[in-house]
């Protein structure tokens, strides 16, 4: 299982809730996006982005997200959700997400997100702050140097 999340600096485990099942007896597509969001928040916490936002007003904002569903999830299960930054641009960065079913021992979904950097005090998009950029580079290096 580890090899399916290898290369992801942040991986979290989330138990599948019975209430996430839909009328077709599999986890509803909305839950996958919540899994992605939970992993993104864990990534942001590792970068200490809450502190950066408190000090500067600048933080991440989701600009775009997508998901490719590979196999249906069902209750009970626990998923491992990995997230990594795959590209950085002047005012945004791209993240890749992977959901792995521990019950099925396979990848259930993969997705991508575009994260813009936003000044919440001035209500406008801004450049990725150097502090954020360096912290992302360091976090990504930590998994690639292990």
Judge contact between 68 and 42, C-beta under 8 A: no
Which helix H or strand E contains 137, and what residues bound it? helix 130-144
- Per-residue tokens: 91: 């005012």
pLDDT mean across residues, the chain: 96
pLDDT band at residue 143 using 50, 70 and 90 as cut-offs: confident
Q: Residue 145: pLDDT above 90?
A: no
Report the CATH superfamily, name and number, of domain 2-141. Answer: Hotdog Thioesterase (3.10.129.10)
pLDDT, position 47 = 96
d(CA 14, CA 3): 18
Orientation of helix 49-56 relative to helix 29-47, angle to 10°: 70
Tell me the Cα Rg of the chain.
16
Give the model confidence (pLDDT) of 65-110 as tens digits: 999 999 999 999 999 999 999 999 999 999 999 999 999 999 999 9
Judge contact between 97 and 65, C-beta under 8 A: no
| pTM of the shown model | 0.95
pLDDT, position 146 = 54
């Amino acid at each position: 299982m580890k090899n399916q999340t290898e290369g992801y600096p942040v991986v979290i485990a989330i138990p599948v809730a019975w209430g996430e099942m839909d009328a077709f007896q599999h986890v509803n597509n909305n839950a996958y996006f919540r899994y992605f969001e939970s992993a993104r928040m864990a990534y942001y916490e590792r970068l200490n982005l809450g502190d950066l936002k408190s000090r500067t007003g600048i933080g991440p904002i989701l600009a775009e997200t997508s998901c490719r569903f590979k196999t249906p999830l069902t209750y009970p299960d626990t998923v491992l959700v990995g997230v990594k930054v795959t590209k950085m641009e002047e005012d945004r960065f791209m993240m890749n997400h992977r959901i792995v079913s521990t019950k099925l021992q396979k990848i259930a979904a993969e997705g991508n997100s575009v994260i813009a950097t936003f000044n919440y005090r001035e209500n406008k998009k801004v450049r990725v702050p150097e502090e954020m950029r360096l912290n992302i580079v360091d976090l990504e290096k930590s998994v690639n140097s292990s």
